Amino acid sequence: MKTRFTSICLLVAISALIFTGCQKDGAQGPAGKDATVYYSEWFTPASWSGNSGDWYFAVSAPDLTQDIVESGVVLAYAWLAGDLYGGTTMRPLPAYAVGANWSFLIHDYGSIEFTTDMVALPATTGNKFRFIAIPGTIPALKSGMPGSRSLQELRSMSYKEVCKLYNIPE
C-alpha cells in the first residue's frame, strides 16, 4: 500500500513539473499579450496636441509598466500618409519621413506619446502608430541564450522580422 501511495505522489509531482514548465513564446491571442510580449493595436490620432515643430498625441498603454520600460525593450512603428514608399513600409521610430522627424516617448508608465516636429499640423487620417513591448525576462533578450537578440539587433530588424520573431499578427 505504501509503494502504491508513493508511486501516485511521484506521478502527481512529475505531472505538475511538466505542466508548469510549458510556455509558448511569442505574442498570442486577440488581447495582444501572453507571458512574454505585448503589442498594441494600430493607433490613429483623433487630434494632435502641441504647436508648430512640436506635435504629439498620447495614448493609454497599460502594458508599459515600470519593469518593461526599465528592463525590457519598447519598439514603436509608424505608417505615414504621403510617405515616399507609398505606405508599403512600416517605419521603425525614430525616423525621418514626410519632411519631419517622428518619434515616441514614454512620459509616464502606462502611457506612450508619438511625436513629430512637423511645422504644419500633422494629418489625423492616414497615419497609424503601434508599439511592441518586450520584457527583459524573456529568453530572446537574455544574453548568451540561443536565438537571443540585443537591443541594437532588435532595433535594426524590420517590422516584419520583429513580428515574425514574436508571432505578432501584422
SS (H, E, C) 30-47: CCCECCCCEECCCECCCC
Domain assignment present for residue 170? The answer is no
pLDDT at 108: 93
* The C-alpha cell that represents 92 in the structure block: 521603425
What confidence category does residue 81 fall into, taking pLDDT thresholds of 50, 70 and 90?
A: confident
Question: Could you tell me which residue, 72 or 18, shows the higher pLDDT?
Answer: 72
Mapped onto helix, strand or coil, the DSSP state of residue 156 is helix
SS (H, E, C) 1-38: CHHHHHHHHHHHHHHHHHHHCCCCCCCCCCCCECCCCE
Among candidate residues 49, 68, 43, the one with its CA nearest the CA of residue 115:
49
Q: Which residues contact 27 (CB under 8 A, 6 or more apart)?
A: 33, 34, 36, 37, 38, 39, 166, 167, 168
Range of the domain at 69: 24-165
List pLDDT tens digits, range 116-150.
999 999 988 889 999 999 988 765 555 544 455 67
Domain assignment present for residue 6? The answer is no
What confidence category does residue 112 fall into, taking pLDDT thresholds of 50, 70 and 90?
A: very high
Domain assignment present for residue 30? The answer is yes
Percentage of the chain lying above the pLDDT 70 cut: 71
**pLDDT beyond 70 at 86:** no
Give me the chain's average pLDDT, please. Answer: 77
pLDDT at 119: 95
Domain assignment present for residue 135? The answer is yes
Among candidate residues 47, 11, 64, 105, the one with its CA nearest the CA of residue 3:
11
Average pLDDT over residues 48-54: 95
pLDDT at 19: 30
Structural domains counted in the chain: 1
The beta-strand segments (E) located in the chain are 38-39, 49-51, 54-60, 73-79, 91-92, 95-97, 100-108, 111-116, 128-134
Domain assignment present for residue 61? The answer is yes
Average pLDDT over residues 29-58: 81
Q: Which residues contact 24 (CB under 8 A, 6 or more apart)?
A: 34
CA distances from 51 to 7, 35, 48, 121, 122 (A): 72, 39, 9, 8, 10
List pLDDT tens digits, range 5-43.
444 433 333 333 233 232 333 433 333 444 478 999 999
Domain assignment present for residue 15? The answer is no
Q: Which residues contact 165 (CB under 8 A, 6 or more apart)?
A: 26, 140, 149, 157
Domain assignment present for residue 11? The answer is no
Domain assignment present for residue 18? The answer is no
**pLDDT beyond 60 at 48:** yes
What confidence category does residue 166 fall into, taking pLDDT thresholds of 50, 70 and 90?
A: confident
